[in-house]
């Protein structure tokens, strides 16, 4: 590549990046994951758009795998363990029992509807059975779901990539030979090996970073993210699951009380967005829209089987062992978003030379686009219809301020809803746990600092500063008073999370 070509490539790449970023605002307003917009940017730049040709499936697979590792690390570094602790068991069941159920049911549907052979049917079932971490994380940022549901979705999307990748690689063998004993042993080794490596790297890395004084604060986020990449690479080199290793290492590091937490999260989110944009644009380039017409009907048929049969059955099969309400199961069934992961996985059998696998790539692309457009915008209305969006939910605000980071403090915001019993309660009567405090109230467009005798009113936006240790207690107190008033404890209401 000449210097002039390099300049032109960077110019085009910069415009594509900026266009994708601007598109996130439009996509977020519509209500579906903004990453779908990045996919369409790739299509627009490709052969049927501006004419850029890219058909190196193997390179796309490799870059896509690396980008998925970055996305999972970002997801782990922005995860609070307290939010997913109670969801680990049901999420683990969804990532194993749920994935197997969804794979088998979707494969049966694809074999019956499309008449394809069992290898392609099993591949298709496995490829689309994984929820997408990038799509799920983007939705959780804007929909204030109850902690348990959000935790299940978040942990599931972090865990289920590993078993799905194992299944796809297993079904991509040519000639196709399936041995149940060897398959079970391989799955167990990859999952357990990846978990052990990820947890080990996470704990050792946290131990080291607490005791090493780096010369610049900007090196801590880089070191933390680098440890996630080490976990991914180490597990992959040991033929274990790099995806689960990277996610677990990042979760451990994020919840170990390391310095410069806010800077680390911001750095991770920036890299995560860059990986997501690059990944979706790349996958959009791999597909030629003019070749998709014949695959639209089959993709919609398989998608309906997945959305209306496979996903609900997998949720019931996985969560029947836990006390999960029926309305939660309905939402979890509908919220199984697909995104970059299935499209990246669809490149694996193409590279392996599985006959007919190129059609799978086109079908998966159509399925992801169509059903993201259907599911994404409908998640908030469905959550509201099922009564799942809590009126007392606080939202964390990421603030790049050294004093907050040094004090291990967090800034939350909460809007007082019309049905809330917080109305007419004074700041003193609220009795938030020390050192949590309401520092600012925004009322009718005016901002003021409340006094102890200031009464909270409906519609107020409360800004609350608390520490990480007292955050849960502060949120519980806010929920309790919002539900039963200032005498909530007299009524045995202690603000338990939904």
| Run of H or E including 251 | helix 242-254
Q: Within a domain: residue 191?
A: yes
Cα separation values, 399 from 217, 265, 331, 441, Å: 16, 11, 31, 18
What is the rounded distance in angstroms from the CA atom of residue 15 to the CA atom of residue 6?
Answer: 14
- Reported as a pLDDT band with limits 50, 70 and 90, residue 396 is low
Q: Do residues 441 and 315 both lie within one domain?
A: no
According to DSSP, residue 259 is labeled S
In a 10 Å sphere around its CB, with 0-12 CB exposed, 13-18 middle and 19+ buried, how is residue 440 labelled?
A: middle
Q: Within a domain: residue 316?
A: yes
pLDDT of residue 391: 53
Q: Do residues 320 and 454 both lie within one domain?
A: no
In this predicted model, what pLDDT tens digit does every residue of 132-142 receive, in sequence order? Answer: 776 776 666 66
Q: Do residues 130 and 178 both lie within one domain?
A: yes
479 or 25, which is more confident: 479
Residue 452 has pLDDT above 50, yes or no: yes
Q: Do residues 261 and 345 both lie within one domain?
A: yes
What is the rounded distance in angstroms from the CA atom of residue 42 to the CA atom of residue 278?
Answer: 9
Q: Within a domain: residue 227?
A: yes
Q: Within a domain: residue 278?
A: yes
Q: Do residues 155 and 268 both lie within one domain?
A: yes
| Run of H or E including 81 | helix 81-84
Residue 43 has pLDDT above 80, yes or no: no
pLDDT of residue 74: 87
Q: Do residues 404 and 345 both lie within one domain?
A: no
Q: The tokens 């509807």 sit on which residue? A: 113
Q: Do residues 375 and 470 both lie within one domain?
A: no
What is this structure's pTM? 0.74
What is the rounded distance in angstroms from the CA atom of residue 36 to the CA atom of residue 32?
Answer: 8
In this predicted model, what pLDDT tens digit does every residue of 50-100 receive, in sequence order? Answer: 666 777 888 888 888 888 888 888 888 887 787 777 788 898 899 889 999
- With contact defined as beta carbons under 8 Å apart, do 404 and 410 qualify? yes
**How many structural domains does the chain have?**
2
Could you give the 3-state DSSP secondary structure of residue 203? Answer: helix
Residue 121 has pLDDT above 50, yes or no: yes
Residue after which a domain boundary falls, among 385, 406, 435: 385
In this predicted model, what pLDDT tens digit does every residue of 278-326 receive, in sequence order? Answer: 887 787 777 777 777 888 899 999 999 999 999 999 999 999 888 888 8
Instruction: Please report which residue ranges of 290-433 form alpha helices under DSSP H.
Output: 296-305, 311-319, 326-334, 340-352, 357-385, 402-406, 427-430
Q: Do residues 316 and 404 both lie within one domain?
A: no
| Phi, psi angle pair for 289, to nearest 5° | -55, -35
Residue 235 has pLDDT above 50, yes or no: yes
Domain ranges, residue 415? 395-491
- The structure tokens listed for 79 are 């995860």
According to DSSP, residue 175 is labeled S
Q: Do residues 315 and 359 both lie within one domain?
A: yes
- With contact defined as beta carbons under 8 Å apart, do 228 and 245 qualify? no
pLDDT of residue 138: 66
CATH of the domain at 305: 1.20.1530.20
Nearest Cα neighbor of 465 from 440, 429, 431, 497 is 440
| Run of H or E including 294 | none
Q: Do residues 333 and 412 both lie within one domain?
A: no
Residue 402 has pLDDT above 50, yes or no: no
- With contact defined as beta carbons under 8 Å apart, do 454 and 439 qualify? no
Q: Within a domain: residue 152?
A: yes
pLDDT of residue 104: 93
Assign residue 411 a region: left if phi > 0, alpha if psi is -120 to 50, beta otherwise? beta
Residue after which a domain boundary falls, among 333, 362, 385: 385
In this predicted model, what pLDDT tens digit does every residue of 160-181 receive, in sequence order? Answer: 888 888 888 888 887 766 677 7
Q: Within a domain: residue 24?
A: yes
- With contact defined as beta carbons under 8 Å apart, do 119 and 471 qualify? no
Q: Within a domain: residue 498?
A: no
Residue 408 has pLDDT above 70, yes or no: no
The average pLDDT across 7-21 equals 78
The average pLDDT across 251-278 equals 82
**Mean pLDDT over the full length of the chain:** 83
Q: Do residues 243 and 315 both lie within one domain?
A: yes
Strand partners, 465: 411, 437
Q: Regarding beta strands 409-415 and 395-397, do their DSSP bridges make them parallel or antiparallel, or are they unpaired?
A: antiparallel
CATH of the domain at 426: 3.30.70.1450
- With contact defined as beta carbons under 8 Å apart, do 77 and 315 qualify? no
Residue 382 has pLDDT above 80, yes or no: yes
- With contact defined as beta carbons under 8 Å apart, do 109 and 310 qualify? yes
In percent, the amount of the chain with pLDDT more than 90 equals 21
In a 10 Å sphere around its CB, with 0-12 CB exposed, 13-18 middle and 19+ buried, how is residue 294 labelled?
A: exposed
Residue after which a domain boundary falls, among 367, 385, 403: 385
According to DSSP, residue 310 is labeled I
pLDDT of residue 35: 67
Nearest Cα neighbor of 128 from 299, 356, 332, 383 is 299
According to DSSP, residue 289 is labeled G
Q: Regarding beta strands 395-397 and 437-443, do their DSSP bridges make them parallel or antiparallel, or are they unpaired?
A: unpaired
What is the rounded distance in angstroms from the CA atom of residue 496 to the CA atom of residue 498?
Answer: 6
Q: Do residues 17 and 101 both lie within one domain?
A: yes
Q: Within a domain: residue 496?
A: no
- Reported as a pLDDT band with limits 50, 70 and 90, residue 377 is confident
Nearest Cα neighbor of 360 from 304, 289, 292 is 292
- Reported as a pLDDT band with limits 50, 70 and 90, residue 401 is very low
Could you give the 3-state DSSP secondary structure of residue 386? Answer: coil
What is the rounded distance in angstroms from the CA atom of residue 162 to the CA atom of residue 241?
Answer: 6
What is the rounded distance in angstroms from the CA atom of residue 454 to the CA atom of residue 427?
Answer: 6
């Amino acid at each position: 590549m000449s210097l002039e070509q390099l300049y032109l490539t960077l110019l085009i790449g910069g415009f594509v990046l900026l266009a994708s970023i601007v598109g996130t605002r439009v996509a977020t307003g519509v209500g579906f994951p903004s990453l779908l917009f990045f996919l369409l940017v790739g299509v627009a730049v490709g052969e049927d758009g501006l004419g850029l040709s890219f058909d190196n499936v193997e390179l796309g697979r490799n870059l896509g795998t690396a980008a998925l590792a970055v996305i999972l690390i970002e997801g782990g570094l922005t995860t609070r363990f307290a939010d997913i602790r109670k969801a680990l068991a049901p999420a683990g069941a969804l990532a194993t029992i749920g994935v197997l159920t969804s794979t088998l049911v979707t494969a049966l549907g694809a074999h019956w509807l499309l008449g394809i052979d069992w290898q392609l049917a099993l591949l298709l079932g496995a490829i689309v059975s994984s929820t997408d971490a990038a799509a799920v994380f983007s939705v959780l940022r804007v929909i204030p779901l109850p902690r348990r549901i959000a935790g299940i979705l978040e942990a599931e999307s972090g865990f289920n990539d590993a078993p799905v990748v194992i299944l796809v690689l297993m079904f991509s063998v040519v000639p196709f030979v399936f041995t149940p004993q060897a398959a079970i042993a391989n799955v167990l080794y990859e999952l357990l090996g990846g978990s052990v490596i990820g947890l080990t790297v996470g704990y050792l890395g946290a131990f080291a970073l607490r005791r090493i004084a780096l010369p610049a604060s900007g090196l801590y986020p880089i070191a933390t993210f680098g440890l996630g990449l080490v976990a991914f690479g180490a597990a992959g080199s040991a033929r274990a699951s790099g995806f689960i290793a990277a996610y677990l290492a990042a979760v451990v590091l994020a919840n170990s009380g390391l310095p410069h937490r806010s800077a680390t999260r911001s750095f991770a989110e920036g890299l995560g967005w860059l990986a997501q944009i690059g990944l979706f644009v790349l996958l959009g380039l791999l597909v030629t829209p003019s070749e998709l017409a014949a695959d639209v009907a089959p993709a919609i048929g398989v998608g309906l089987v997945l959305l209306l049969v496979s996903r609900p059955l997998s949720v019931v099969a996985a969560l029947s062992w836990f006390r999960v309400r029926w309305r939660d199961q309905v939402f979890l069934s509908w919220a199984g978003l697909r995104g970059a992961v299935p499209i990246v996985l669809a490149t694996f059998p193409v590279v392996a030379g599985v006959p007919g696998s190129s059609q799978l790539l086109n079908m998966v692309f159509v399925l992801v686009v169509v059903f993201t457009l259907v599911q994404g915008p409908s998640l908030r209305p469905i959550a509201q219809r099922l009564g799942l969006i809590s009126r007392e939910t606080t939202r964390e605000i990421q603030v790049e301020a050294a004093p907050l980071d040094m004090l291990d403090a967090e800034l939350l915001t909460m809007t007082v809803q019309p049905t809330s019993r917080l109305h007419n309660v004074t700041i003193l009567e609220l009795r938030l746990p020390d050192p949590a405090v309401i520092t600012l109230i925004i009322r009718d467009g005016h901002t003021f600092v409340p006094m102890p005798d200031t009464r909270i009113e409906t519609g107020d936006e409360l800004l609350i500063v608390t520490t990480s240790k007292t955050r849960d207690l502060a949120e519980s107190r806010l929920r309790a008073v919002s539900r039963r008033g200032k005498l909530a404890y007299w009524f045995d209401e202690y603000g338990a999370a939904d």
